A = this chain, B = another copy of it.
Amino acid sequence: MRLTQQRTALLQLINSSDRHWDAEQIAASLSREGHKIGIATIYRGLQALEQAALITAIQIDGRKHYERADKQHHDHLICTACGTIAEFYSPEIESLQLQVAEAHQFSIADHQLTLYGLCRDCRVAKEPIP
């Protein structure tokens, strides 16, 4: 894979933040920063970077969202009210997944666990006023 200017910009943007980005958001952010990069190049670049394991992706609501790869594996808590994405890691859950797979003679290559609901802030916001 060739590390071009455009791909470097993608990588830099993603690696310098803790967010999850979709293609549109990346396009908007890069163009705000003055980069010239076509949307097709963004899609192709993200694909290439993911395949090279330089970034990781999760599927949210039918859209791919990318994040830094230089973190330990984790799963996600997504607030359906404000859209915030938090992360968690549970070694117990991971190990139980392996047990489940083994019981089915299934070999896991990957998994995605996403919890949907209300984050702390949005719960508070919905509390009845006393």
Please indicate the chain B residues that have their CB under 8 angstroms from the CB of A108 in the complex. Answer: 115-117
Q: Is A109 an interface residue (CB 8 A)?
A: yes
Q: Is A39 an interface residue (CB 8 A)?
A: no
Q: How many copies does the complex hold?
A: 2
Tell me the smallest distance from the CB of A23 to a CB of chain B, in Å.
13
Q: Is the CB of B88 within 8 A of A93?
A: no
Which single member of B88, B103, B112 contacts A100 (CB below 8 Å)? B88
Report the count of interface residues on A (CB-CB < 8 A).
35
Q: Is A35 an interface residue (CB 8 A)?
A: no
Which single member of B104, B116, B123 contacts A86 (CB below 8 Å)? B104
Interface residues of A (CB under 8 A from B): 59, 61-63, 77, 79-80, 86, 88, 90, 92-93, 96-97, 100-101, 103-120, 123
